[in-house]
């Protein structure tokens, strides 16, 4: 009996490992073979003006947190509407996934730019984390208390990071800037 | 102890393969990046030489020497995997802060999964000591396979790419570990069948030789050359990094209400 259980568990264990290894190897291969243009096509369009409106409620043009009386004027429901609800959050999440891959692309092909690629990757992961918290809160029906803080924080991070990326590509004269501006 | 002709052939191929691999690692400068993998290969050469003399001079001790050295072999395999993890998860020389805890958690979870499986695996063996070593082998192969898959998954989710040679070493080690787990499962299923045990043992040795060949070929080849960035661009990239870092520090500190 013990033999039967061992073989059954071990076969399931091994099959799971092989399945996971195959899935993640394929995913890593796709990522390694990705081109700059290919990554751009995976970005989902987001309304940058609305993103800016949410972000600039909390930070100034320079990126410094605002301390004036008009700061943090948007309430949770306005942020929710401007963001486009859960769909808007998912669009941000998907774009963060692409930004993580863009950082990996930079890390893979331009190792001298490793520190900045790592910083971009961490920023994108941080937004993913905030969005994950919000989605979790939405699923458990506790969105309201968490939304204002996490959503605006995620949007500010996204806004500032994408603005810097756009500036960088503008200054460097990289191809694909127009597509990137449209998508981000 | 009588060795079969396949065992002699495999022994010779493995020995010369390890020597070729060690020369390659040294001459192509890979030993600097992979000191633990180089140590693992060198230890395999030493092990083969020592076992050869034991077989000729004290054949009665061969079996215990073989199994004892297997423990060292497995300890080194874990160290090699750790070395590979350091390459992947410390892209700037320090652990990426978003992966460290997850990696530690996955490693603990891997041990928790491998332990009961090992406890259930009652290997075929006449002696208690050898049964202990066989269980250890199974635990080690299962854990290495899990850690390999955990590294693959975590790096894919976190967006940390593998350098070419890191990926090749890990693939060889990961595939070999999984084949060892599969062989242990089949061996346990078949029970006390000596012929099947020999066939399975040959499959395991053949897999290792294939991995050795894979390492020789792939570590001989150079990794794809990075693309150069102009100096001005590099300066701008560093400015961007400072800016993003500064922004993030501010964002982490602010409170909405």
A19 and A110 share one domain = no
A23 and A108 share one domain = no
Higher pLDDT, residue A67 or B79: B79
Interface touch A113/B97, C-beta < 8 Å: no
Higher pLDDT, residue B99 or B225: B99
A6 and A70 share one domain = no
Alpha helix locations (H) across chain B?
A: 5-27, 30-33, 35-57, 62-89, 100-120, 128-158, 164-190, 194-220, 231-253
Q: What would the two tokens of residue B152 be?
A: 């693959």
Q: Is the pLDDT of residue A38 over 70?
A: yes
A27 and A110 share one domain = no
Residue-level pLDDT at B62: 85
Is there a contact between B34 and B83 (Cβ–Cβ < 8 Å)?
A: yes
Interface touch A21/B174, C-beta < 8 Å: yes
Residue-level pLDDT at B119: 87
Give the 3-state secondary structure of residue A23. Answer: helix
A45 and A29 share one domain = no
- Closest chain B residue to the Cα of A164, Cα to Cα: B240
Is there a contact between B26 and B219 (Cβ–Cβ < 8 Å)?
A: no
Of the residues B254, B255, B257, the best mutation for testing chain A's interface (the one with the most A CB atoms within 10 Å of its CB) is: B254
Q: How far apart are CA B84 and CA B90, in angstroms?
A: 10
Burial of B244 (0-12, 13-18, 19+ CB in 10 A): buried
A49 and A26 share one domain = no
**Which among A101, A110, A125 has CB closest to B98?**
A125
Residue-level pLDDT at A112: 74
Residue-level pLDDT at B19: 97
Interface touch B234/A113, C-beta < 8 Å: yes
Structure pTM?
0.80
Is there a contact between A155 and A54 (Cβ–Cβ < 8 Å)?
A: yes
The CATH number assigned to the domain holding B86 equals 1.20.1070
A73 and A156 share one domain = yes
Of the residues B160, B176, B247, the best mutation for testing chain A's interface (the one with the most A CB atoms within 10 Å of its CB) is: B247
A85 and A19 share one domain = no
Vertex B227, ends A41 and B174: CA angle to 5°?
A: 80
A123 and A78 share one domain = yes
For chain B positions 115-174, those within 8 Å of chain A (CB to CB) are 117, 120-122, 142, 145-146, 148-149, 152-153, 155-156, 158-162, 174
Higher pLDDT, residue B6 or B212: B212
By residue range, what is the domain housing residue B125? 5-253
Among residues B93, B89, B205, the alpha carbon closest in space to that of B158 is found at: B89
- pLDDT, tens only, B28-59: 999 999 999 999 999 999 999 999 899 888 88
Residues in chain A closer than 8 A to B178 (CB atoms):
14, 17-18, 21
- pLDDT band of residue B139 (cuts 50, 70, 90) is very high
A92 and A161 share one domain = yes
By residue range, what is the domain housing residue A29? 1-33
* Number of folded domains that form chain B: 1
- pLDDT band of residue B257 (cuts 50, 70, 90) is very low
* Number of folded domains that form chain A: 2
Which stretch, A63-67, A136-140, A156-160, B202-206, has highest mean pLDDT?
B202-206
Residue-level pLDDT at B205: 93
A59 and A19 share one domain = no
Calculate the average pLDDT of chain A. Answer: 80
Is there a contact between B236 and A171 (Cβ–Cβ < 8 Å)?
A: yes
């Amino acid at each position: 009996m013990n033999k039967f259980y061992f073989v059954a568990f071990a076969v399931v264990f091994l099959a799971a490992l092989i399945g996971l290894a195959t899935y993640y190897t394929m995913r890593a291969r796709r990522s390694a073979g990705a081109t700059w243009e290919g990554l751009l096509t995976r970005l989902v369009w987001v309304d940058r003006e609305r993103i800016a409106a949410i972000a600039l409620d909390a930070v100034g043009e320079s990126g410094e947190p605002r301390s004036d009386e008009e700061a943090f004027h948007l309430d949770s429901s306005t942020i929710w509407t401007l963001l486009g609800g859960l769909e808007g959050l998912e669009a941000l999440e998907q774009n963060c996934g692409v930004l993580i891959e863009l950082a990996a692309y930079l890390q893979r092909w331009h190792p001298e730019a490793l520190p900045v690629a790592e910083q971009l990757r961490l920023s994108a992961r941080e937004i993913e984390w905030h969005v994950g918290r919000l989605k979790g809160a939405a699923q458990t029906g506790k969105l309201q208390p968490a939304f204002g803080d996490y959503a605006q924080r995620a949007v500010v991070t996204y806004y500032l990071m994408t603005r810097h990326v756009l500036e960088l590509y503008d200054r460097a004269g990289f191809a694909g800037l127009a597509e990137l501006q449209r998508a981000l | 102890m009588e060795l079969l002709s396949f065992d002699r052939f495999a022994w010779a191929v493995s020995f010369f393969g390890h020597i070729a691999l060690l020369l390659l690692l040294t001459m192509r400068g890979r030993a600097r990046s992979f000191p633990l993998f180089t140590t693992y290969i060198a230890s395999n050469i030493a092990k083969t030489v020592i076992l050869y003399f034991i077989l000729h001079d004290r054949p009665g001790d061969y079996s215990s020497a073989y199994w004892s050295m297997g423990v060292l072999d497995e300890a080194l395999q874990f160290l090699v995997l750790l070395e590979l993890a350091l390459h992947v998860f410390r892209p700037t020389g320090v652990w990426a802060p978003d992966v460290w805890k997850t990696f530690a958690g996955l490693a603990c979870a891997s041990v928790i999964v491998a332990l009961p499986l090992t406890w259930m695996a009652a290997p075929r063996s006449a002696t208690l000591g050898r049964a202990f070593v066989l269980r250890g082998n199974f635990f080690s192969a299962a854990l290495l396979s899990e850690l390999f898959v955990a590294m693959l998954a975590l790096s894919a989710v976190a967006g940390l790419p593998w350098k070419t040679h890191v990926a090749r070493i890990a693939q060889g080690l990961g595939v070999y570990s999984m084949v060892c787990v599969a062989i242990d499962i089949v061996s346990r299923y078949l029970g006390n069948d000596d012929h099947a045990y020999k066939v399975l043992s040959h499959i395991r040795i053949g897999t290792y030789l294939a991995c050795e060949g894979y390492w020789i070929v792939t570590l001989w080849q150079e990794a794809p050359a990075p693309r150069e960035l102009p100096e001005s661009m590099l300066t701008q990239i560093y400015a961007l990094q400072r800016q993003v870092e500064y922004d993030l520090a501010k964002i982490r500190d602010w409170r909405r209400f």
